[in-house]
Chains A and B, each alone.
Chain A
Amino acid sequence: MRGKRLQLLAMVATLAVVAAACTGSSTKPSGGSPSAGNAAFTYSLTSQVMIGWDPSTGYSNEIVAMNNMYETLTRYNPQTKSLDPLLATSWESSDGGKTWTFTLRDGVMFHTGKPMTSTDVKASIERTMELNQGAAYIWGAVKSIDAPDPQTVVFHLKYSAPLDLIASADYAAYIFDTSATSGDLNTWFEQGHEAGTGPYVLDAWNKGQETELRLKAFPDYWGGWDGSHYTNMVFRVVPQATTAAQLLQSEQVSLVERLTPQLWQTFQSQDGFSTTDSSSWQTLLAMLNTASGPLADVRLRQAIAAGVDWNGMMSALHGAAQPLSGIVPPGLWGHVDGLDLTYDAQKATDLLKQAGYGPGGKPLDLTLTYLQGDSDEQLVASLMKSDLAKLNVNLDVRPLAWPAQWAKAKSSDPAQHQDILLFYWWPDYADPYSWFINLFHTEDKPYFNLSYYSDPALDTTMNKAEALAASDRSSAESMYADMQQTIAQEVPALSIYTQVYQRAMLSSVGGFDENPAYPNVVFAYDLTPSG
């Protein structure tokens, strides 16, 4: 009897708790901004934000927060395709791009309370170079750094390089207070501290939690807080697109990093919400094996380029991607029009026939590897497979985790190499050189040149273009145009598309402009809350 009474009691208690929970919370938004009075901007992201805390070595998701806590000397402006001043107000190069002098902004304070001077800039970048992790390689050209007076920094380079662009990088270019702690700086950072100059300071870090990170306004920010600004920034980790959409719908988040194209479309026509879609610098490339296997024959590479219905593929991606002309994406200097991939089944058939393959001939067997779990790459791979099957080309499609996909591609045994490899490439600073030096420059042992392509003339041109990027941008641009022409003819790689950032946000979020040089970063200080 006693047991039964206890059970009954427990049941009643459970039901009571459920009932209380249901009636107690008002989940319907009270209207207005997510936390009226605090002017908080809540950014919904799909995965953990703070992978690392060290501004020298961070090379992952953390840049979305770091770019609000830290600043760089310059910032790339995709509208003007040039640089805006940030911590540096002006800069000039001399000695054919081998010496760079930056004049620093007056009255900049670190969050630690210390004023920023040229010795801090020198110390920050020297520390980044010394640790040599993450994207530190971008400073590879730097021989030495001088700080002749508190407002001036001089970089001496080993070879000429566009240091103004490098200084705008999204990783490894932050300026910070290297004297922030009396203890070990590496440990101090990794414990979750920051020492930047940016508009926001760290308020709370809840590692592994849903509301992972909260930032608040830095009162001594050099830009000041006059006018309309968000004074708080919240990062919420919401992996599921459906959940993120519902949170936005109920105004619990201000902006969603990524939804599915279908969900994103539902916000397009809704009152109270706005959407943006803009091309990113994340380019999907198909690297074709130019060294071994059937695709060493350029006719077959050209046949693959002509044999796939690329426009059909774009419609199947529902706006999540935009076709890419050439290698360099739009918004970055060096981009050229008129080099889009075009579908021409007849041309593909003719080229295949010339090489002894094609419909009626012997079948062409090829392997393709792509990143496991990436649904866009999966779609691209399966559409390529079905289109090429009509041309008697059998594509063996294999999804692999990146370390495995890369290990196979880098193997010292060429028989291990795939015929086609799908992967994304993006630059670490606003310079087209990144694609060329990494993907198309001759390599003794394959590393990122996974089409195993070698063209000494192209190697020479790309190095010349990089040297001129600092002093003679327009000559460099025409060199990049020529190189992209060559790649379109030789087809070591197919540039399939650039990813499109489809953002959905509350219409009260004003002034949002995508900056593809800083992937997924929302510069909250530049936004204007309204409504």
Chain B
Amino acid sequence: MGRYLVRRVALAILVVVGVVVLTFVIARVVPGDPAVSWAGPHASREQIANVRHELGLDRSLPVQIVSYFGGVVRGDWGTSIHTHQPVLSDIMDRAPASIELVVTAMVFALTLAIPLGLVSARWSGRAPDGVIRIGAVLSVSMPAFWLALILQLVFFQRLHLLPVAGQYDPNLDYTHPLTQYTRMPAVDALITGNWVVFRSALSHLVLPAIVIASYPLGVVTRMVRASELDSLGEDHVRAVRALGFSERSVFARFALKPALVPVVSVIALVFAYSLVNTFLVESIFDWPGLGSYAADSISSLDTPAIVGVTLFIAIVYVLANLVVDLVQAWIDPRIAIA
């Protein structure tokens, strides 16, 4: 298990380095000068030349990459051309909001998807299965922006039940000021016992979390169903059946555990997908996450920010996969040996 872990971590680092080099080179090869964006709309030639020098853009590409990696190791991810702030601090300011949203959505999706998948497999071919399968296809194929707008229209505009946008009611800043620790309002409010803000933060989370949960919900439901049905046909399941275990026990214990291995790897994939999917949803729900930051940095050719966001997502992606590999190895020891 130890050697397996070392090998996986080494591979993860290689993947991250590769992604950064690739992004860096592509962002620099694109025509246009990032110093132009930094210096402002009507800047003079002299100002732009000064900026080029200050940002180190007048050095050769390999020198820039090496110095960038040196910085990354020291915690200096460069300075954003768009916000004029350190990229790492920009990302740390915005990532918690995205992570709060995706994690809520994933928890929401999984607590529904696993039981639904099992119900579907248990009564395969019958009415509940049919309903769940149609629901799963719908939730996978529904475009996020469309679902978001419909939910806003129904729950905000028509029913006045849920807020339209933001993380919590900004007027509460005057009446119930929130102390920030994690930059996730729901978590901060919970830690500090600020229940008014907590309730407001939860109500603001519901709609965007449902939109993001839609895709993983459908995928995981279908995966659980298929995987459980496969597993039910395996020899070991027939063996425990023959031994006289109850159908419920066969279903939820002996068939479920091996069925979870492929499900876990799908979960890692949809997690990474959801993190990127969040970008669009964030902009619709005015959620101050990485999405708008990434969009702004792309339109202003903000290389340090583009590379920074890519690096961050690559790290999250690789970490998620690493965790999945370890969980799989834990569920099924045969994987580590292989």
- Give A residues with C-beta under 8 Å from B: 1, 3-4, 7-8, 10-11, 14, 17-18, 20-22, 24-25, 27-28, 34-35, 38, 40, 42, 47-48, 51-52, 59-60, 132-135, 137, 190, 204, 207-211, 214, 232, 234, 236-240, 242-243, 246-247, 249-250, 252, 372-373, 400-408, 428, 434, 438, 447-448
* Among all A-B residue pairs, the 7 with the closest Cβ atoms: A403-B32, A59-B40, A404-B32, A25-B203, A211-B170, A21-B203, A21-B202
| Interface pairs (7), CB distance under 8 Å | A8-B115, A17-B202, A204-B173, A208-B93, A211-B170, A401-B30, A404-B301
| Contacting residue for A428 out of B31, B37, B42, B252, CB 8 A | B42
Interfacial chain B residues near A447, Cβ < 8 Å: 45
Contacting pair A21 B162 (CB below 8 A): yes
- B58 CB to closest chain A CB (Å) equals 15
What is the CA–CA distance of A427 and B207 in the complex, to the nearest angstrom? 43
Contacting pair A133 B36 (CB below 8 A): no
What is the CA–CA distance of A469 and B156 in the complex, to the nearest angstrom? 54
Closest to B171 in A: A35
- Cβ of B39 under 8 Å from chain A: yes
| Contacting residue for B165 out of A134, A246, A405, CB 8 A | A246
Interfacial chain A residues near B299, Cβ < 8 Å: 372-373, 401
Interfacial chain B residues near A404, Cβ < 8 Å: 30-32, 301
What is the CA–CA distance of A210 and B43 in the complex, to the nearest angstrom? 30
Closest to A17 in B: B202
Contacting pair B84 A38 (CB below 8 A): no
Closest to B91 in A: A208
- Cβ of B67 under 8 Å from chain A: no
Contacting pair B199 A25 (CB below 8 A): yes
* Contact of A240 with B286 at beta-carbon distance under 8 Å, contacts A207-B85, A401-B299 already known: yes
- Cβ of B277 under 8 Å from chain A: no
| Further contacts, 20 of them, CB under 8 A, given A21-B199, A190-B84, A428-B42 | A11-B111, A18-B206, A20-B199, A21-B203, A21-B205, A22-B162, A22-B203, A27-B164, A208-B90, A210-B166, A238-B165, A239-B292, A240-B284, A240-B286, A243-B152, A252-B169, A252-B170, A400-B32, A404-B31, A404-B301
- B50 CB to closest chain A CB (Å) equals 8
Interfacial chain B residues near A401, Cβ < 8 Å: 30, 32, 299-301
Interfacial chain A residues near B108, Cβ < 8 Å: 14
Residues of B within 8 A of A (CB-CB), count: 65
Interfacial chain B residues near A438, Cβ < 8 Å: 42
- Cβ of B139 under 8 Å from chain A: no
Contacting pair A210 B164 (CB below 8 A): no
What is the CA–CA distance of A137 and B285 in the complex, to the nearest angstrom? 40
**Contact flags (1/0) for B157-187 with A, using CB distance below 8 Å?**
1001111111101110110000000000000
What is the CA–CA distance of A38 and B171 in the complex, to the nearest angstrom? 10
Contacting pair B202 A211 (CB below 8 A): no
- Cβ of B288 under 8 Å from chain A: yes
What is the CA–CA distance of A28 and B162 in the complex, to the nearest angstrom? 9
- B91 CB to closest chain A CB (Å) equals 9
Contacting pair B42 A210 (CB below 8 A): no
What is the CA–CA distance of A214 and B83 in the complex, to the nearest angstrom? 19
Contacting pair B170 A234 (CB below 8 A): yes
Interfacial chain A residues near B166, Cβ < 8 Å: 210-211, 236
Contacting pair B285 A243 (CB below 8 A): yes
Interfacial chain A residues near B125, Cβ < 8 Å: none
Contacting pair B301 A24 (CB below 8 A): no
Contacting pair B111 A7 (CB below 8 A): yes
| Contacting residue for B36 out of A135, A214, A250, A406, CB 8 A | A406
Interfacial chain B residues near A210, Cβ < 8 Å: 165-167, 170, 286-288
**Contact flags (1/0) for B139-156 with A, using CB distance below 8 Å?**
000000000010010001
- Cβ of B293 under 8 Å from chain A: yes
What is the CA–CA distance of A172 and B45 in the complex, to the nearest angstrom? 18
What is the CA–CA distance of A406 and B115 in the complex, to the nearest angstrom? 56
Contacting pair B288 A237 (CB below 8 A): yes
Contacting pair B199 A402 (CB below 8 A): no
Contacting pair A25 B41 (CB below 8 A): no
Contacting pair B82 A51 (CB below 8 A): yes
Contacting pair B283 A51 (CB below 8 A): no
Contacting pair A209 B32 (CB below 8 A): no
Contacting pair B42 A135 (CB below 8 A): yes
* Contact of A7 with B114 at beta-carbon distance under 8 Å, contacts A28-B160, A35-B174, A240-B283 already known: yes
**Contact flags (1/0) for B89-126 with A, using CB distance below 8 Å?**
01001100000000000011001101100000000000
- Give B residues with C-beta under 8 Å from A: 30-34, 36-37, 39-47, 82-85, 90, 93-94, 107-108, 111-112, 114-115, 149, 152, 156-157, 160-167, 169-171, 173-174, 199-200, 202-203, 205-206, 252, 283-288, 292-293, 296, 299-301
Closest to A245 in B: B164
Closest to A445 in B: B45
Interfacial chain A residues near B45, Cβ < 8 Å: 447
| Contacting residue for A403 out of B37, B112, B292, CB 8 A | B37
What is the CA–CA distance of A211 and B37 in the complex, to the nearest angstrom? 25
Q: Looking at B42, B94, B205, which has the most chain A CB atoms within 10 Å of its CB?
A: B42
Interfacial chain B residues near A234, Cβ < 8 Å: 170
What is the CA–CA distance of A448 and B162 in the complex, to the nearest angstrom? 49
Interfacial chain B residues near A134, Cβ < 8 Å: 39-40, 43
Q: Looking at B112, B170, B301, which has the most chain A CB atoms within 10 Å of its CB?
A: B170
| Contacting residue for A4 out of B39, B252, B285, B301, CB 8 A | B252
What is the CA–CA distance of A236 and B170 in the complex, to the nearest angstrom? 9
| Contacting residue for B33 out of A11, A236, A247, A403, CB 8 A | A403
* Contact of A27 with B160 at beta-carbon distance under 8 Å, contacts A3-B252, A10-B111, A11-B115 already known: yes
Q: Looking at B32, B90, B200, which has the most chain A CB atoms within 10 Å of its CB?
A: B32
Contacting pair A48 B286 (CB below 8 A): no
Contacting pair B40 A135 (CB below 8 A): yes
What is the CA–CA distance of A20 and B195 in the complex, to the nearest angstrom? 12
Contacting pair A137 B41 (CB below 8 A): no
Interfacial chain A residues near B34, Cβ < 8 Å: 403
- A350 CB to closest chain B CB (Å) equals 39
What is the CA–CA distance of A405 and B32 in the complex, to the nearest angstrom? 7
Contacting pair B32 A406 (CB below 8 A): yes
What is the CA–CA distance of A432 and B218 in the complex, to the nearest angstrom? 59
Contacting pair A24 B47 (CB below 8 A): no
Contacting pair A132 B42 (CB below 8 A): no
Interfacial chain A residues near B169, Cβ < 8 Å: 25, 252
Contacting pair B171 A24 (CB below 8 A): no
Interfacial chain B residues near A250, Cβ < 8 Å: 156, 164
Contacting pair B206 A22 (CB below 8 A): yes
Closest to A24 in B: B199
- A61 CB to closest chain B CB (Å) equals 10
| Contacting residue for A38 out of B30, B174, B283, CB 8 A | B174
Contacting pair B202 A24 (CB below 8 A): yes
Q: Looking at B45, B111, B114, B200, which has the most chain A CB atoms within 10 Å of its CB?
A: B111
* Contact of A133 with B206 at beta-carbon distance under 8 Å, contacts A238-B286, A240-B286, A246-B165 already known: no
Closest to A171 in B: B40
Contacting pair A51 B84 (CB below 8 A): yes
Interfacial chain A residues near B30, Cβ < 8 Å: 401, 404
Closest to B252 in A: A4
| Contacting residue for A51 out of B83, B252, B293, CB 8 A | B83
Contacting pair B165 A60 (CB below 8 A): no
What is the CA–CA distance of A197 and B258 in the complex, to the nearest angstrom? 69
Contacting pair B161 A27 (CB below 8 A): yes
What is the CA–CA distance of A55 and B83 in the complex, to the nearest angstrom? 15
What is the CA–CA distance of A372 and B299 in the complex, to the nearest angstrom? 8
Contacting pair A246 B111 (CB below 8 A): no
What is the CA–CA distance of A3 and B118 in the complex, to the nearest angstrom? 13
Interfacial chain A residues near B157, Cβ < 8 Å: 246, 249
